[in-house]
Amino acid sequence: QVQLAESGGDSVYAGGSLKLSCVVSGLPFADYCLGWFRQVPGKEREGVAGIDSDGTPAYVDAVKGRFTISRDNAKNTLYLQMNSLKPEDTAIYYCAADLFPTLRGWRHFNYWGQGTQVTVSS
């Protein structure tokens, strides 16, 4: 059974930093593409960052230069370091897995965690 468990969400002021973690079990972690998504009430879930099995990252423009996605295959853990946070980054953040080694599009992710709340105040 595939399980993803996020942690690290919190409330911070604008300009602050947070690091999210996601522990993954039930699949060969090192073999697959992983990603971070976020969702605001009333809006669709959106992809934020993805990372291939070889560690190649990809980001949406809204977070480039501020967020860093990384993975520790020895710990089966995915990370998202978020710096220079803005109020518009407020959302529930989800980690996700796509059973494919490279990022092929946000719609292909089909395993999800429960989410962790990030709130950024101005």
What is the tens place of the pLDDT at every residue in 48-86?
Answer: 999 999 999 999 999 999 999 999 999 999 999 999 999
Instruction: Provide the greatest CA pair distance for the chain.
Output: 40
Q: Which residues contact 16 (CB under 8 A, 6 or more apart)?
A: 85, 120
Q: How confident is the model at residue 18 (pLDDT cuts 50, 70, 90)?
A: very high
Instruction: List all residues 6 or more positions away from 18 whose beta carbon is below 8 Å from its beta carbon.
Output: 8, 9, 10, 12, 82, 85, 118
Q: What is the mean pLDDT of residues 111-120?
A: 98
> What is the pLDDT averaged over residues 107-114?
96
List of E strands, 1-72: 3-7, 11-13, 18-25, 33-39, 46-51, 57-59, 67-72
